[in-house]
Amino acid sequence: MGYTPETPFDSIEGSHEYVAMLAEALAEARREVEAEIAAADRDHADRRKKALLLVSYNLAKLHLHITSSRRILNDLRSLRRLLLAEREGVELPEDSVPAGEPLT
């Protein structure tokens, strides 16, 4: 009998999907902040613009972390698939995955 995940974090796939949705929400927030920065610039609201630029900077840092997390989760999915295939006795051809590229 197989294991049924109860939360999105009970599996690598669920976590990968959650991080992908988080990345989409982050992209939307970055677009909104950029629009707010432009509006603050038009209104000559320098203090507000500086605060929004700090928000934009932190969103950019978060974007890098999320991107890294997505890659790590993708690598883990690929490695698990590779290990499960080996455990089941199914041998993958050596040239089936180019070196340095993640399995999907």
75, amino acid identity = D
The amino acid sitting at 9 is F
pLDDT at residue 74 tops 50: yes
Could you tell me the pTM of the whole model? 0.69
pLDDT digit string, tens, across residues 16-54: 899 999 999 999 999 999 999 999 999 999 999 999 999
Rounded distance between C-alpha atoms, residue 97 and residue 79, angstroms: 12
- Between 3 and 29, where is the model more confident? 29
Nearest to 71 by CA among 19, 25, 6: 19
